[in-house]
C-alpha cells in the first residue's frame, strides 16, 4: 500500500476516478465548499488536454462554469450560437434557438474546459494524480478503497466516498454492478469519422446535413479551425479515408462549396452507443458522466450531462460532509436520471432523424424526410428540437 510522508495510508474524503469534465468539475465544486478530494487519471496531463472531443455547452453548463470562476477563457473564446442549420434535399432551414427556446448555446471544445479546470485545480492546490490507473473499488458499502497503479507501484486510496467519473472504461461501474442493476444499451449501426482541420468554418452556425450518402456535420472551434464529421459504417477504419475522400464527401453531403480543404490536425472514428446504468449509485460509490450513461453525439449532450450530474452529486456530498445527512446523496441517481433519459431520447431521436439507415429501407427514408420537413415547417416541432438542444430539464410536476 502507498504511504504518504507521515507513513500512513493515503486517504481522502472523496476519491475521484477520472479527470474528464465530470471528475474535474466535481473536485472543483467540492473544493469551493471546503471538501478535499484526490483525482486519479489514467492518462498524462498532456494527453487529456489534447484529446479532441465534442464542444457544445448548454446555457446551464456555461452558467455553472461562470458561477464557479472557471469561465473566463470560455467567455473570451467560446462562440455563442443562437441556432443551427438543417440541410436536406438541397434545402437549408434554420432552427432559431433564441426565438423558439429563449436560450443560446456556446461552442467551446471539451478539452478547453478540461484545460481550464486542471489549471484551476492545480492553482488551488488540488491533488490530481496523472498516469494513475484505478483497477478496482472495494468495500463500497463501508469505507471504500480504490486500488490503483502508478509508476509501476500498486497503491491504495482510502475514501469515505468514491466518484466513478472514468468515462466509458467503466472500472468503477464494474465494481458495483450485479443483477440488481439495469444497463440499458443500444448499439448504433454506424459511427462518426471526425476531423479537426485548419480551415475557416464555411458557416457561422452548425450545419446538420441529412444526405442519401449519409449524415454530415459542420462544427467549428475558432475562426480558423473547423470540426467536421461524416457518418461511416460502425466497423469502418481510417485506411479507407484518405484526406481527398474526406473533403469530397464533406462537400457533397454538406452541400457546401465554400468549405476548403485544410491541414487535418486530428482524425478518428467513434462508434455510436446509447447506454444508461440504473441506478447510478450503490453504497458509497457514485457514477457520473459517461461512466453512468453514454449518448450518441448527434444531440451534443455528453459534456452537459456530465456537468449536470456532478453538480447534483456535489450538493449531496456537501450536505453529507456537513451534517451526516444522506437524503440528497441517496436520491442522487433519481435526480439525475430524469434529465439523462430526456437527453437519451433526444440524442436517439436526432440520430434516427438525420442518419442514413444502412439497411436502406425506402419507406424509412421517406418517413425521415417527411419528419425533417415537419421539424422545419411546424413551430411546435421546431420548438421540440430547440428546447431539447439548448437543454431541457423535465421537472417532477407534469403540466396542469
**Catalytic residue annotation:** 81, 208, 297, 301, 389
Residue 89: count other Cβ atoms within 10 Å of its Cβ.
11
How far, in Å, CA of 117 to CA of 131, rounded?
Answer: 18
Of 199 and 219, nearer to ligand PHB (C-beta) is 219
Per partner kind, with CB cut-offs from 5 to 8 A, the member of ligand PHB, ligand APR, none near residue 17 is ligand APR
Scanning residues 46 to 105, which ones bind ligand APR (CB under 6 A)? 48, 53-54
Sign of torsion over alpha carbons 216, 220, 226, 227: negative
**Residue 41 — φ and ψ, nearest 5°?**
-125, 125
56 binds, among ligand PHB, ligand APR, none (CB under 5 to 8 A by kind): ligand PHB
**CA angle 145–147–153, rounded 5-degree value:** 140
Of residues 214, 296, 302, 316, which one binds ligand APR by CB under 6 A? 302
From the list 17, 21, 16, the residue with the least C-alpha distance to 57 is: 21
The residue within the footprint of ligand APR, chosen from 166, 205, 249, 256 (CB under 6 A), is 166
Which positions from 178 through 197 interact with ligand APR, judged by CB under 6 A?
none
Of 290, 320, 351, 390, the one binding ligand APR by CB under 6 A:
290
Q: Which is nearer to ligand APR, 20 or 316 (CB)?
A: 20
Q: Which helix (H) or strand (E) holds 106?
A: strand 105-107
Q: Which residue is nearest to ligand PHB (CB)?
A: 219
Q: Please say which residue, 79 or 340, places its beta carbon nearer to ligand APR.
A: 340
**Cα 64 to Cα 312: distance, rounded to the nearest angstrom:** 12
Rule CB under 6 A: say whether 20 interacts with ligand APR: yes
DSSP letter, residue 153? E
CB 194 within 8 A of CB 229: yes
**Could you say which of ligand APR, ligand PHB, none residue 165 binds, taking C-beta under 5 to 8 angstroms by partner kind?**
ligand APR
Cβ–Cβ under 8 Å, residues 109 and 50: no
Candidate ranges 28-36, 148-156, 231-239, 292-300; the one touching ligand PHB (CB under 6 A): 292-300
Contact 34, 86 (CB under 8 A): no
Considering the complex, what minimum distance in angstroms separates the CB of residue 97 from ligand APR?
Answer: 20
Smallest gap, in angstroms, from Cβ of residue 300 to ligand APR?
Answer: 9
List the x/- string, 44-73, binding to ligand PHB by CB under 6 A: ----------xxx-----------------
Q: Are strands 37-40 and 10-17 parallel, antiparallel or unpaired?
A: parallel
x/- binding map, residues 179-218, to ligand PHB, per CB under 6 A?
Answer: ---------------------------x----------x-
Closest to ligand PHB by CB, 37 vs 219, is: 219
Helices (DSSP H) in the chain: which residue ranges?
21-32, 45-50, 59-67, 72-77, 97-101, 110-123, 171-174, 243-254, 302-323, 327-330, 332-354, 362-377, 379-389
Instruction: Report the interface residues with ligand APR, using CB under 6 A.
Output: 17-23, 40-43, 48, 53-54, 110, 133-134, 165-167, 169, 171, 289-291, 302-303, 306
Amino acid at each position: 500500500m502507498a504511504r504518504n510522508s507521515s507513513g500512513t495510508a493515503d486517504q481522502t474524503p472523496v476519491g475521484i476516478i477520472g479527470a474528464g469534465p465530470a471528475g474535474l468539475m466535481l473536485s472543483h465544486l467540492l473544493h469551493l465548499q471546503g471538501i478535499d478530494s484526490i483525482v486519479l487519471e489514467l492518462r498524462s496531463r498532456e494527453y487529456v488536454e489534447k484529446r479532441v472531443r465534442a464542444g457544445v455547452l448548454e446555457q446551464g453548463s456555461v452558467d455553472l462554469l461562470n458561477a464557479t470562476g472557471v469561465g473566463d477563457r470560455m467567455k473570451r473564446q467560446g462562440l455563442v450560437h443562437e441556432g443551427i442549420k438543417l440541410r436536406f434535399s438541397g434545402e437549408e432551414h434554420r432552427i432559431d434557438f433564441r426565438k423558439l427556446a429563449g436560450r443560446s448555446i456556446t461552442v467551446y471544445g471539451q478539452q478547453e474546459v478540461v484545460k481550464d479546470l486542471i489549471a484551476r485545480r492545480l492553482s488551488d492546490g488540488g491533488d490530481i494524480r496523472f498516469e494513475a490507473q484505478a483497477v478496482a473499488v472495494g468495500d463500497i458499502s463501508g469505507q471504500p478503497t480504490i486500488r490503483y497503479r502508478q509508476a509501476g507501484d500498486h497503491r491504495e486510496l482510502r475514501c469515505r466516498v468514491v466518484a466513478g467519473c472514468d468515462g466509458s472504461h467503466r472500472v468503477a461501474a464494474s465494481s458495483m454492478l450485479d443483477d440488481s442493476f439495469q444497463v440499458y444499451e443500444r448499439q448504433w449501426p454506424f459511427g462518426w469519422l471526425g476531423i479537426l482541420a485548419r480551415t475557416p468554418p464555411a458557416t457561422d452556425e452548425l450545419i446538420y446535413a441529412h444526405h442519401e450518402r449519409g449524415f454530415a456535420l459542420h462544427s467549428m472551434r475558432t475562426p480558423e479551425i473547423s470540426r467536421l464529421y461524416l457518418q461511416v459504417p460502425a466497423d469502418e477504419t481510417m485506411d479507407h479515408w484518405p484526406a481527398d475522400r474526406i473533403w469530397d464527401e464533406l462537400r457533397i453531403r454538406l452541400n457546401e462549396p465554400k468549405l476548403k480543404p485544410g491541414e487535418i490536425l486530428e482524425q478518428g472514428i467513434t462508434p455510436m452507443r446509447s447506454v444508461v446504468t440504473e441506478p447510478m449509485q450503490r453504497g458509497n460509490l457514485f457514477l457520473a458522466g459517461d461512466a453512468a450513461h453514454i449518448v450518441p453525439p448527434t444531440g451534443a449532450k455528453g459534456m452537459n450531462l456530465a456537468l449536470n450530474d456532478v453538480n447534483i452529486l456535489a450538493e449531496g456530498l456537501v450536505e453529507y460532509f456537513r451534517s451526516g445527512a444522506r437524503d440528497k446523496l441517496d436520491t442522487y441517481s433519481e435526480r439525475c436520471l430524469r434529465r439523462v433519459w430526456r437527453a437519451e431520447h433526444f440524442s436517439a431521436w436526432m440520430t434516427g432523424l438525420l442518419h442514413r439507415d444502412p439497411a436502406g429501407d425506402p419507406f424509412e427514408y421517406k418517413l425521415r424526410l417527411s419528419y425533417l420537413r415537419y421539424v422545419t415547417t411546424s413551430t411546435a416541432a421546431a420548438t421540440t428540437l430547440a428546447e431539447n438542444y439548448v437543454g431541457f430539464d423535465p421537472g417532477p410536476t407534469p403540466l396542469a
